[in-house]
Structure 1
Amino acid sequence: MLRLSEYIYSILITSWVGALWAIGYLAAPTLFSLLDDRALAGRVAGQMFTYVAWLGMAAACYLLVFLALRKNGAAFKSGVFWLVFLMLLLTVAGYFGIQPVLAQLKADSLPREVMESALRSRFMAWHGVSSIVYLIESLLGLWLVALQGRGLR
């Protein structure tokens, strides 16, 4: 049974970090380059980012519990534990903090698209914040992949 929990640990790290990179740096840019309707591309990309956020939150919960049980009290001294925790905080901040601001700006701009409205500059600023948070989380994810074996020791 312990072996199965270790496999799930590795699969979840791979799934979470793989999804971060695949959606953020492959799928979303492809949508914007292929679709003429940028609003549609944004809606589709936004939905994919939602899936990645929920995957990340679920994966982080498992990983943190796994590490806490595996290492007992020493989990709080583990760099891998704090790396996963920081990635979780960034995911939560992005999904529950930044994304609602972006959604409200879109709603406030109706009936126009936000990029054609007076709220464009504010939307772009918050989108930039979101992109930076996502980039930091993605880079931390690479670090997590590199260190994942250390979390089991």
Structure 2
Amino acid sequence: MMLAKVRLLVAALWAGSLWTVGYLVAPTLFASLDRVLAGSIAGLVFHAEAMLSLGCGAAMGVLLFFGTRDWTPKRRRSVLLIVVAMVMCTVASHFGIQPMMAAAKASGDASFGKLHGISSTIYLVQSLLAGWLLWKQA
């Protein structure tokens, strides 16, 4: 019972942080600051979010291993797949797309917009998966 509550808390922290950073903090920064400063701060915030996501993914993995004895194997497997997909979204975006975006921005390459669109799509998918993860906890 205690591990189920901790698992729900971690899932809520993960989902809430994704939604807050991506759909509240970043838009507010760009609406209230100049683009360069907003981009710099948003980059730092998204880096912190990526590290939090990796930590939450690891914690969920441990909690799914130890704290789901009352779940069916199918339920455990489906939730684990959601967690893995969310972690892969973080890895792909933060360690794959973000460095390419930084390089494109630094060189003035026009591909920055396309890369930003890909990154935003990955983030949206991860955000939707976070809702599904919370739903599956019940």
- TM-score, scaled relative to structure 2: 0.89
Q: How far 1:146 sits from its partner (Å)?
A: 1.1
Larger Rg: 1 or 2?
1
Residue 47 of structure 2 aligns with which residue? 50
Letter in 1 for 2:81: W
**8 Å Cα contact 2:17-2:49 kept in structure 1:** yes
Residue 104 of structure 2 aligns with which residue? 105
Residue 16 of structure 1 aligns with which residue? 14
CA distance in 2, matches of 1:74, 1:51: 33
CA distance in 1, matches of 2:61, 2:75: 10
Once the two structures are superposed, residues 10-67 of structure 1 have per-residue CA deviations (whole angstroms, 9 ceiling, x without a partner) of 22111111011111011101111111x2011011111111111111110111101211
Letter in 1 for 2:87: L
Unmatched 5+ residue regions in structure 1?
110-116
**8 Å Cα contact 1:75-1:81 kept in structure 2:** no
* Structure 1 residues 39-118: aligned runs within 5 Å: 39-71=36-68, 74=73, 78-107=77-106, 109=107, 117=108
Q: How far 1:71 sits from its partner (Å)?
A: 4.4
Count of aligned pairs between the two proteins:
136
**8 Å Cα contact 1:16-1:55 kept in structure 2:** yes
Note closer, same or farther for the CA distance 1:102–1:38 as it changes in structure 2 (3 Å cut).
same
Q: How far 1:8 sits from its partner (Å)?
A: 2.4
CA distance in 1, matches of 2:97, 2:121: 11
Identity between Structure 1 and Structure 2 (%): 39
1:38 aligns with 2:27: no
Residue 114 of structure 1 aligns with which residue? none
Once the two structures are superposed, residues 101-127 of structure 1 have per-residue CA deviations (whole angstroms, 9 ceiling, x without a partner) of 1122233x2xxxxxxx3x1x2000000
RMSD value, Cα: 1.9
Residue 145 of structure 1 aligns with which residue? 134
Unmatched 5+ residue regions in structure 2?
none
CA distance in 1, matches of 2:24, 2:63: 30
SS in structure 1 of the partner of residue 67 of structure 2: helix
CA distance in 2, matches of 1:88, 1:78: 15
